[in-house]
Structure 1
Amino acid sequence: MFNRQKLRDLAPQEVKTALDAHEILLIDVREPAEFAAERIHGALNFPLSTFAPAALPAAGDRLVVFQCGSGKRSAMAIERCQKAGHAIDAHLAGGIMAWKAAGLPTITLDTTTGELRDPR
């Protein structure tokens, strides 16, 4: 079983501040349809169903932070990374649900027009 002590929970506002400052690389591990329907501006999509730690882009000096819907899949992605020898331990606690509950913006897809709405 995964050791939760190896998991660093980041609050939504903490992630937003670091993302805006280009200090993190935000990786959304939800499935492509979920990502297309709603996402955090600046997140990259690497679905957990096909997730391979070796395929992650180079983060340079940025912290890699995983994100999903609620925090469960991002924790699983961290576990896979750690088992593969990557020193990744941070995720958005509560996922995109916590992000939205904190009143932070998301990019959404208008399913009637196909238009993307980005409130930034």
Structure 2
Amino acid sequence: MFGAPKTRDLTAPEVKSALDEHRILLVDVREPAEFAAERIHGALNFPLSTFDPGALPEAGDKLIVFQCGTGKRSGMAVERCRKAGHEIDAHLAGGITAWKAAGLPTVSLDVATGHVRDPR
């Protein structure tokens, strides 16, 4: 009759707008090496491998939105939050892959020089 609560899929443009307006706290659940290589400006890193919903920072009046590479791990983070009694239900559908496909900028590491490239 009633299924599990649905994860709220946000598009890359929705997340970008919310980030620009300081309405969300973006939490990247990829592993540290993935995060270091390329990330969305303003995201915090809380890897799924050691993810503890109770350790998430206080977001105040901001919505917490999870993000990963393609949307699978961020969906898993939403589920872990639900099981822990947290009302976090939003993630970036398609992850950083969808973000880049939408033509949005990322912070990346230039492996040849070790410099961080931030197009902002």
Shorter-chain TM-score: what band? over 0.9
Q: Equivalents in 2 of 1:23, 1:14: separation in Å?
A: 11
TM-score (norm 1): 0.96
- Give the aligned partner of residue 87 of structure 1: 87
Residue identity (%): 76
Q: How far 1:82 moved relative to its partner?
A: 0.4
Partner of 2:31: 31
- 2:35 partner SS: helix
Counterpart position of 1:101: 101
What residue ranges of structure 1 are gaps of 5+ in the alignment?
A: none
Shift of 1:102: 0.1
> Which residue of the partner structure matches residue 7 of structure 1?
7
User: 2: CA distance between counterparts of 1:37 and 1:4?
Assistant: 35
State the distance in 1 between where 2:4 and 2:98 align.
Answer: 19
Q: Please give the secondary structure, in 1, of the residue aligned with 2:15.
A: helix
- Structure 2 unaligned runs (5+)? none
By how many angstroms is 1:84 displaced?
Answer: 0.2
- 1:4 to partner: Cα distance: 6.7
Q: Which residue of 2 aligns with 1:44?
A: 44
Residues matched between the structures, number: 118
Cα displacement (A) at 1:6: 2.0
Match of 1:63 in 2: 63
Alpha carbon RMSD of aligned pairs, Å?
1.0
Match of 1:36, SS? Answer: helix
What secondary structure does 1:57 align onto? coil
Deviations 1:35-66 (A, max 9, x none): 00000000000000000000000000000000
**Residue equivalent to 1:75:** 75
Report the equivalent of 1:111: 111
Shift in CA distance, 51/105, structure 1 to aligned 2, threshold 3 Å: same
Q: Partners of 1:52 and 1:33 in 2: how far apart?
A: 19
Whole-Å Cα distance in 2 between the matches of residues 79 and 117 of structure 1?
A: 33
* Cα distance change of structure 1 residues 27 and 101 upon mapping to structure 2, 3 Å threshold: same
